[in-house]
Amino acid sequence: MIRRFLFVSLLLLGFLTILYYVSSYQQDLQANSLDGYLEFQAKEIVNKMSPEELSGQVIHVSIPGKTLDQTAEKEIEEILPGGIILFGINLGTKEEISNLNLELQKKSMEFSKLPLLISVDQEGGRVLRVRDGVTQFPGAMALGQTKNSDYAYKVGFVTSYQLRKLGLNFVFAPDLDINNNPDNPVINTRSMGSTPEMVSIAGIGYEKGARIGGAIPTIKHFPGHGDTNVDSHLGLPKIDKTLEELEKMELIPFQESIQQGAEVVMSAHIVYPKLDPDFPATLSSKILKGVLREKMGFKGVIITDAMEMDAIDKHYKDKDPGVLAILAGADILLMTSWGKTTRDMKNQILTAYKNGIFQKGERDFLKEAVYRQILLKLKHGIVYEFSSKKSESKEKLSDLEIKEIDFFQNQIAQREKNFSEIFSPNLNTEISRASIVSFPSLFDPSSVKTEETIFSVRGKEFETALEEKNIPNVNYSKIPLLVKQNKFKRIVAVTFSQLELDLVAKLAKRHSNLEVVALHYGSPFLKLNTLPNLKILFSFSPTLESKKALLYSVLERKSTIPVVDLILKGENEKTASQQP
């Protein structure tokens, strides 16, 4: 009897196990069949495209205004671009942005039968293109200083969600450059930090949140733009590091983000002579294919930084840089102009294609680039969004078409649910306050008493905040007279520039018996004086909430403010780690 019971039990267990694996297999099959169907669609679309369509799809262009004017319409009709990048000149109210994007998509569907990737630089902090309809979060460096990946995830998700609601489906963030060179003129506070760990914590959190938010995120600028003192908009930077050195620093955040599922990488216009002595990363097969694709295993979309930047335009213009970039492994050529410049680029690609430059054996590198971009549009529901399938009855659709529709409808519903759970009116305030740090040592705000403090601030946000609390705002020139009254223990001043920081440092030297606190919302990568009675509080961001967080730190905050964790310029060029 016992043996029979054991036999039946084992048989039942085996049957349940089989059911489990069959069920798991069916789920995997369903997932794979949808992926396979999207891949099939991408291949089918690419194989039907003419050389003119293929050559246009790899180019993303810009337009001159806030409406679909004749110039913008002509750009879409003649280039047949895969995407459009929008800047401040294109972005007005949220209604204007939504209307513009809808008109752009309609025009693209009319001429190319494909929707656009519509992109924007929306990093937060000092890089905010969209001012209406999107929360103005602090920038990357502020996020990094919180050392909280959950904050980064929420900022990435909310920003991405709100952009997609406006019709912006492609965001050029997060920046995974490690700002380990305090003289860097272009990355600066756009970086999450000065170490691989800090950049990875915030950067990966942001990318993962943004990826499910609706606007496709882009990790940039591969293989790293942090350790340079040249702006690639204005020159051709060089980073003289070996691959082994890059693997111990610059490549770490990129590798970790790729392993976590990042789908788009932006290349850097920087020469790495020990990897490729002849070409910057954007034009280098050794870097984009050899390092990024083969060594690091990246299978997604590679987009170039703007091809008109001086690093490319002044040094490689006569070498067909667009052709070189595609051959190197890039899938999208980002252009920030329209008219002759974009037409010249398309002619460059089209001529090369007709001459067989992109064909090697059975491979067609131009088609491969277009395939990856179209698959990205399919996977993120951008093709579905403008598909006629949505309005057709299910009786006319195949099982896979129905599955595709159900998948994206569920995805949209889940996105809405996630937003309602993640976003709150206080989220920006909470993160902005958590990002405030002190230099060169801890700052205890509990010792600040307003009646013992001279406040000298400039700027509407700061002035209004003091007025609301009935705190006098003193003109800078009158501070010495008040100090003579011997009833004050502290001076609090707002700074943004090197000049303002220097003036505050002079105050600290002149009044060594007083504590002087600078509320600094500009770049921290300035010459910082290390006086015993001087403290600098950093927000790394000029947003309204960041400015309010600085004042909050001296007026209401009770907990100690931590020390900044960055490589900074100190007095006599000391770094933060060398400060007392």
437 phi, psi to nearest 5 deg: -135, 165
Helix (H) or strand (E) run with residue 60 in it? strand 59-61
Strands 515-520 and 490-495: parallel
**Domain contains 427:** no
Q: Which two tokens stand for residue 316?
A: 């490689």
Number of domains in the chain: 2
Domain boundary residue among 372, 395, 414? 372
Residue 15 lies in a domain: no
Tell me the HSE value of 122 on the side-chain side, using a 13 A CA sphere: 36
Question: One of 233, 313, 364, 502 is an active-site residue; which one?
Answer: 233
> So what's the pLDDT on residue 33?
85
| Neighbouring residues of 372: CB distance < 8 A, sequence distance ≥ 6 | 300, 301, 331
Pair (226, 361) in one structural domain: yes
- Distance, in Å, from the CA atom of 525 to the CA atom of 529, rounded to the nearest integer, reads 12
Same domain, 355 and 478: no
Q: Are residues 112 and 195 in the same domain?
A: yes
User: Does a structural domain hold residue 73?
Assistant: yes
Q: Among 357, 372, 387, where does a domain finish?
A: 372
Q: What's the confidence (pLDDT) of residue 571? A: 44
Residue 473 is encoded by which pair of tokens?
């705002």
The angle formed by the CA atoms of residues 313, 319 and 324, to the nearest 5 degrees, is 95
Euclidean distance between CA atoms 435 and 143, whole angstroms: 6
Residue in 175, 177, 305, 320 annotated catalytic: 305
Looking at the fold, whether 347 and 450 belong to one and the same domain comes out as no
Domain of 178: which CATH number?
3.20.20.300
What is the pTM for the complete model shown?
0.92
Between the alpha carbon of residue 386 and those of residues 111, 217, 287, 382, the distances in Å are 14, 21, 36, 7
Q: Phi and psi for 229 in degrees, rounded to 5?
A: -115, 20
> Which two structure tokens, joined as six digits, stand for 175?
């920046």
Of 65, 89, 83, 202, give the one whose Cα is nearest residue 137: 202
Between CA 117 and CA 216 the distance in angstroms is 9
- Decide if 413 is inside a domain: no
Cα 345 → chain centroid: 26
- Residues 455, 362, single domain; the answer is no
pLDDT for 448: 87
pLDDT tens, the chain, 580 aa long: 443 433 334 334 433 333 333 333 334 434 558 999 999 999 999 999 999 999 999 999 999 999 999 999 999 999 999 999 999 999 999 999 999 999 999 999 999 999 999 999 999 998 999 999 999 999 999 999 999 999 999 999 999 999 999 999 999 999 999 999 998 888 999 999 999 999 999 999 999 999 999 999 999 999 999 888 766 676 788 999 999 999 999 999 999 999 999 999 999 999 999 999 999 999 999 999 999 999 999 999 999 999 999 999 999 999 999 999 999 999 999 999 999 999 999 999 999 999 999 999 999 999 999 999 999 999 999 999 999 877 788 888 999 999 999 999 999 999 999 999 999 999 999 999 999 999 999 999 998 899 999 999 999 999 999 999 999 999 999 999 999 998 999 999 999 999 999 999 999 999 999 999 999 999 999 999 999 999 999 999 999 999 999 999 999 999 999 999 999 985 434 444 433 3
Does residue 295 belong to any structural domain of this protein?
Answer: yes
* Residue 29 placed within a domain: no
Strand 122-124 and strand 127-128: the pairing is antiparallel
> Do 56 and 188 lie in a common domain?
yes
| 27 torsion bin: left (phi>0), alpha (psi -120 to 50), beta (else) | alpha
- Same structural domain, 342 and 459: no
Per-residue pLDDT at 444: 96
Check residue 306 and report its DSSP letter: P
361 and 475: one domain?
Answer: no
Residue 419, classed as helix, strand or coil, is helix
Residues 335 and 442 in one domain: no
Residue type, 231: D
**Whether 323 and 463 share a structural domain:** no
Same domain, 276 and 368: yes
Model pLDDT, residue 231:
67
CATH assignment of the domain containing 462: 3.40.50
Catalytic residue at 276?
no
Burial of 118 by CB count in 10 Å (0-12 exposed, 13-18 middle, 19+ buried)? Answer: buried
The tokens 């900044």 sit on which residue? 564
Query: Cβ of 167: how many Cβ atoms within 10 Å?
Result: 20
Q: Is 380 a known active-site residue?
A: no
412 lies in a domain?
no
Which among 316, 338, 372 is the end of a domain? 372
Q: How far apart are CA 234 and CA 317, in angstroms?
A: 15
Tell whether 442 and 304 lie within a shared domain. no
How many other CB atoms are found less than 10 A from the CB of residue 434?
18
Domain limits at 471? 436-578
- Is 261 a member of any domain? yes
The radius of gyration computed from the CA coordinates of the chain, to the nearest angstrom, equals: 27
